[in-house]
A and B are shown apart, each in its own frame.
Chain A
Amino acid sequence: MKFVNLLKIALRALSNNKLRCFLTMLGIIIGVASVITMLAIGQGSKNSIKAQISEMGSNMIMIHPGNMQRGGVRQSADDMQTIKIEDYESLSRLPGIAAISPSVNSGGQLVYGNNNYPSSIYGVTPEYLEIRKLKIKDGTIFSDQDIRTAAKVCILGKTVIDNLFPDGQDPVGKVVRFGKIPMTVIGVLESKGTNSMGQDQDDVVLAPYTTVMKRILAIDYLQGIFASAVNEDKTNETIDQITEQLRVNHKLKDGVDDDFQIRSQQELSEMMNSTSDMMTVLLACIAGISLLVGGIGIMNIMYVSVTERTREIGLRMSIGARGIDILSQFLIEAVIISVTGGIIGILLGVIASWLVSVIANWPVYIQLYSVVLSFVVCTVTGIFFGWYPAQKASNLDPIEALRYE
């Protein structure tokens, strides 16, 4: 028996019942389309969360002083003064670190002319821009010279500018006051908008860390260190290097708790991912169930078809169709229904995903694997649910089948 012949026989039989065929297919179409759309939405939201996190600085590692017991009294981490400039300098020599910046910050009122605005000033190095994925729109970043001399210069974010310069003046070159200290604006940051947590990333003032330490806070320790790993995969390795280096610097003996804490963006992104992974699994479950229902539809209709065509089966057997030929014919019919339904479903799913992204403005992303997966599942569904009715057809006794009314 040639496969082409079987295919021809099956197609012929299907074309005799176009409407029924289509209605059966509809179950699969809806199932597959929902699988594709659901997975596209799930993956889309995952990708957008990932993008937002990496916008905040993808491989970012944050080092803060850790809380420590001193004479039985647990101290607030903010009061700790364990991280020094020497730590920053030694960490900057580690191989796994791409960029590093100390961090000291202070809240305060910014004043320009009649306008004032409460904001935070961050004392950093130019590498901070790289770590946080910030860009200078106008002007320049402060130089090493500025850091060495604790120059009274600053860079402003968009929100700060909007409040201090409401009439649209160019802030570069102007002198603003932070508290009592006059500072020259040398640059303007490109706007980043709010992040996924709802924080305004433009409400920021950057200055050399030496300026903030010496002129504003008058401290000799760091409040934290920001660093970025060479790449995301190396983040954990780099954290280990930093831990080791800091323990050596701080002369911590084995068994003594760290007096600092390290957090990475990766932890955050893992947490976010696990949430959206769960959502994707849930969506896929719902979609999978609808595919199952479609499969049961195929089985049902194949049963009806076998009963209805008993005489035809008897005739085919009497003119020389073997059991395997009958089995193959019905199986091929079931697979044609499910695979055609699958292809239409995939197309429909792609269109639906596109509509979701255009109309509802949700991020969607169709992965190749979800398309391949639904296609494979369809074929398997067809074979699985078509098998039993086909088996029943092939086991009919030709004499009985021919006599069937």
Chain B
Amino acid sequence: MSEKKEIIRVENLRREFMVGGEKVKALRGVSFTIHEGEFVTIMGTSGSGKSTLLNMLGCLDTPTSGEYCLDGVSVQAMSKNQRAVTRNRKIGFVFQNYNLLPKTTSIENVELPLLYNSSVSAKERREKAIQALQAVGLHDRLYHKSNQMSGGQQQRVAIARALVNDPVIILADEATGNLDTRTSFSILTLFQELHRRQRTIIFVTHNPDLALYSSRNIVLRDGKIVSDTYNDHPASAREVYESLPTDND
């Protein structure tokens, strides 16, 4: 595993908030390294600091102290705008509530990150968006509007949007939280497929069952890592998905 490229390296990451004049320690010294091609689940109950960690990893927030290197570049030295550009080029976000633009077609939603990248031409943008939608199995839904699609389809569009800029890491925040079990597993299957294609994925969730399907599981409690285990033989989400009864029954 050591010959693989380091994507994320955090060292002694701390984050404190001032809430009502009181100091709240959300992260109390977190350290880990994630290499290319890993599918990491980060677990923890609410208040464990997993959202804070995700914001940090997603360059939306900066740590109070500690070191964060993304793809070999130190993030805390960056300005607000540099972090925005980093998010645009290196990170793909998938949210619990999809966060698609309303009344907008799939393809336009997927093109969105590339609109903020002036080095991508309109033609390239369209091609990449179509490729990304094909990768999530929505090649027949290019021009459907977001409100005309089911939750699972919307989340697929969101994943395509996260893939379109060819990021070094995909950050998923409770990406299956709003979906029913069957659809959850279909989305999980998609993540496993992406993993097989050597995508690096961090999947933040409070659902402990999902640890079975990732290659590594980090558990947070009270702002500290309590366990960090590798899973060399993740269970197949596809098998579970296929074993579940369809809605038609």
A interface, over-half SS: helix
* B84 CB contact (under 8 Å) in A8, A9, A320: A320
A318: nearest chain-B partner, CB-CB: B93
Q: Is the CB of B101 within 8 A of A319?
A: no
With A319-B87, A320-B87, A402-B95 as known contacts, state yes or no: A1 contacts B118, CB within 8 Å.
Answer: yes
Q: Is the CB of A322 within 8 A of B60?
A: no
Scan residues 98-149 of chain B and give those whose CB is less than 8 A from a CB of chain A: 99, 101-104, 108, 112-113, 115-118
Scan residues 364-405 of chain A and give those whose CB is less than 8 A from a CB of chain B: 398-399, 402
A250 part of interface (Cβ distance < 8 Å): no
With A2-B118, A5-B118, A399-B61 as known contacts, state yes or no: A319 contacts B103, CB within 8 Å.
Answer: no
Interface range for B = 20 to 34
* B60 CB contact (under 8 Å) in A1, A323, A399: A399
B80 part of interface (Cβ distance < 8 Å): yes
Q: Is the CB of B101 within 8 A of A321?
A: no
Q: Is the CB of B101 within 8 A of A317?
A: no
Measured between beta carbons, the chain B residues less than 8 angstroms from A132 are none
Scan residues 72-91 of chain B and give those whose CB is less than 8 A from a CB of chain A: 80-81, 84-89
For the complex, what is the distance from the CA of A52 to the CA of B116, rounded to whole Å? 62
B152 part of interface (Cβ distance < 8 Å): no
Q: Is the CB of A321 within 8 A of B60?
A: no
Measured between beta carbons, the chain A residues less than 8 angstroms from B87 are 317-320
B58 part of interface (Cβ distance < 8 Å): yes
Tell me how far the C-beta of B93 lies from the nearest C-beta in chain A, rounded to whole angstroms. Answer: 5
A325 part of interface (Cβ distance < 8 Å): yes
Q: Of A177-185, A204-212, A286-294, A308-316, which binds chain B?
A: A308-316
* B88 CB contact (under 8 Å) in A314, A320, A398, A402: A320
Q: Is the CB of B84 within 8 A of A322?
A: yes
A12 part of interface (Cβ distance < 8 Å): yes
For the complex, what is the distance from the CA of A318 to the CA of B118, rounded to whole Å? 17
* B116 CB contact (under 8 Å) in A312, A319, A398: A319
Q: Is the CB of B115 within 8 A of A9?
A: yes
A16 part of interface (Cβ distance < 8 Å): yes
Q: List 29 A-B contacts (CB under 8 A).
A: A1-B116, A1-B118, A5-B116, A9-B115, A12-B101, A16-B102, A16-B103, A311-B99, A312-B99, A312-B101, A314-B99, A316-B112, A318-B93, A319-B93, A319-B113, A319-B116, A319-B161, A320-B86, A320-B89, A320-B117, A321-B116, A322-B116, A323-B81, A323-B84, A324-B81, A325-B116, A399-B55, A399-B61, A402-B95
Q: Footprint of B on A, CB under 8 Å? A: 1-2, 5, 8-9, 12, 16, 311-312, 314-325, 398-399, 402
Q: Footprint of A on B, CB under 8 Å? A: 55, 58, 60-61, 80-81, 84-89, 93, 95, 99, 101-104, 108, 112-113, 115-118, 161, 165
List 20 other contacts, CB 8 Å, given A9-B115, A319-B113. Answer: A1-B116, A1-B118, A8-B115, A311-B99, A314-B99, A318-B58, A319-B87, A319-B88, A319-B93, A319-B116, A319-B161, A320-B84, A320-B88, A320-B165, A321-B116, A322-B81, A322-B84, A324-B81, A325-B84, A399-B60
